[in-house]
Homo-oligomer: A and B are copies of this chain.
Amino acid sequence: MGSTYGKIFNISTFGESHGKAIGVVIDGCPAGVKFNEEFIQNELDKRKPGQSRITTQRKEADSFQVLSGVFEGHTTGTPIALVIFNEDQRSKDYGHIADKFRPSHADYTYSAKYGNRDYRGGGRSSARETAARVAAGAIAKEILASVGIEISAYVNQVGKLKLDKSYQELDLSQTYSNAVRCPDATMAEEMFNYIDETRKKGDSIGGVITCVAKGVPAGWGEPVFDKLHAELGKAMLSINAVKGFDYGSGFDGTELYGSEHNDAFYTDQDGKVKTKTNHAGGILGGISSGEDIYFRVAFKPTATIMKDQDSVNEAGDAVTVSGKGRHDPCVLPRAVPIVEAMTALVLVDFFLRSKADKV
């Protein structure tokens, strides 16, 4: 019972990796939003498999259908149902792991929790579900864009390869110009080669995505539990393979003194309250400050590898999980649009919640 997210802009996703379809119902999207099918498809295309040789070769067009909630090109305020029928199901690929627990996958824990488990391709635990989030996130992005908010994520680290530049030093419009989704061309090439070598070895590798949201006005976020960064953290951690989240100065900031870390306020020439530095990451006390919001998301190496591994089966017997099938040697490139989508879903919900702040 955890497949819904959002208090007002409320999404419910459904679907398994190799079931009939995946999709999402959005209950609480305001009426009158221009519905841009092309933009949604474009977002889905950024996430879809088979885009380069460093992503899984599963073939899915990921084209979606709108079942409800849209009329004459605009949202009507009623639930929007979007569905993507699965095409390349190839369930036969999974017969060999039907009763085996793949290491570091969710097979065992789903089994422990539910008993009854759709083992094909990870079933519900597959990252395939995130296509539904990207579709919903695209609508959220459109609403946010209409109030001047832009969200940009990019790959900041792959394995030990780290981009040694802050987001301000990068041209974020270049992120989607390469298969890795790193806005720095030189580093993108290095990362590509590194991932490709990892792939050839039948192995996988982790990394870090950085995300920036510009244009968020001061005042969004709902302390004390639904702090803006707490919901961003939850949303990011809900993405497959994510192991960590920090914002602003994050883990690095723990080594600083307060006198170094505090962001001094000043008033700019337009009379707007600003801060000289932004260790806060655009969020103070769980509420946006009007400065850029930025955060990092840590991804573990893909659990699926092309090597034999020791494991057990449902009966508890020792078995070998052999490395075959299709997989992403590094989930980061395809995760970039997912991070953006989840960010948009969090922000749009706080945008709508903020409307009730004052009488």
- The yes or no answer to A214 lying at the interface (CB within 8 A) is no
- The yes or no answer to A279 lying at the interface (CB within 8 A) is yes
Q: Closest B residue to A271 by CB, please name it.
A: B316
Q: Mark A245-276 against chain B: 1 for CB-CB distance below 8 A, else 0.
A: 11111110111111111111111000101010
Nearest chain B CB to A99 CB, angstrom units:
13
Chain B neighbourhood of A175, CB < 8 A: none
Is there contact, CB below 8 Å, between A112 and B290? yes
Chain B neighbourhood of A2, CB < 8 A: 27, 221-227, 286
Nearest chain B CB to A231 CB, angstrom units:
7
Is there contact, CB below 8 Å, between A249 and B300? yes
Other-chain residue from B4, B221, B260, B265 in contact with A311 (beta carbon distance below 8 A): B265
- Whole-angstrom CA separation of A263 from B231 in the bound complex: 29
- The yes or no answer to A135 lying at the interface (CB within 8 A) is no
Nearest chain B CB to A64 CB, angstrom units:
12
- A residues 30-44 near B (Cβ < 8 Å) are 30-33
The binding surface of chain A is classed by DSSP as mixed
Is there contact, CB below 8 Å, between B113 and A206? no
Copies in the complex: 4
Other-chain residue from B12, B229, B254 in contact with A237 (beta carbon distance below 8 A): B229
Other-chain residue from B12, B298, B353 in contact with A253 (beta carbon distance below 8 A): B298
Q: Closest B residue to A129 by CB, please name it.
A: B224
Is there contact, CB below 8 Å, between B259 and A79? no
| Given A109-B289, A354-B113, also A103-B67 (CB < 8 A) | no
Chain B neighbourhood of A287, CB < 8 A: 106, 109-110, 112-113
- The yes or no answer to A184 lying at the interface (CB within 8 A) is no
Chain B neighbourhood of A16, CB < 8 A: 68-69, 71, 76, 78
- Whole-angstrom CA separation of A333 from B180 in the bound complex: 42
- The yes or no answer to A141 lying at the interface (CB within 8 A) is no
Is there contact, CB below 8 Å, between B30 and A357? yes
Chain B neighbourhood of A191, CB < 8 A: none
Other-chain residue from B4, B13, B74, B235 in contact with A4 (beta carbon distance below 8 A): B4
Say which one of A17-25, A45-53, A54-62, A163-171 lies at the interface with B. Answer: A17-25
Is there contact, CB below 8 Å, between B77 and A219? no
Is there contact, CB below 8 Å, between B255 and A159? yes
- Whole-angstrom CA separation of A32 from B243 in the bound complex: 30
| Given A258-B205, A263-B104, also A246-B248 (CB < 8 A) | no
Chain B neighbourhood of A101, CB < 8 A: 265, 273
Chain B neighbourhood of A255, CB < 8 A: 159-160, 206
Q: Closest B residue to A202 by CB, please name it.
A: B259
Q: Closest B residue to A250 by CB, please name it.
A: B244
Extra inter-chain contacts (11) besides given A244-B250, A251-B296, CB under 8 Å: A15-B67, A19-B68, A28-B356, A32-B358, A76-B123, A106-B284, A109-B288, A113-B219, A205-B256, A245-B246, A254-B298
| Given A27-B4, A266-B310, A289-B108, also A113-B77 (CB < 8 A) | yes
Q: Which has the most chain B C-beta neighbours within 10 Å: A10, A109, A218?
A: A109
| Given A71-B118, A234-B230, A253-B300, also A312-B265 (CB < 8 A) | yes
Is there contact, CB below 8 Å, between B1 and A353? yes
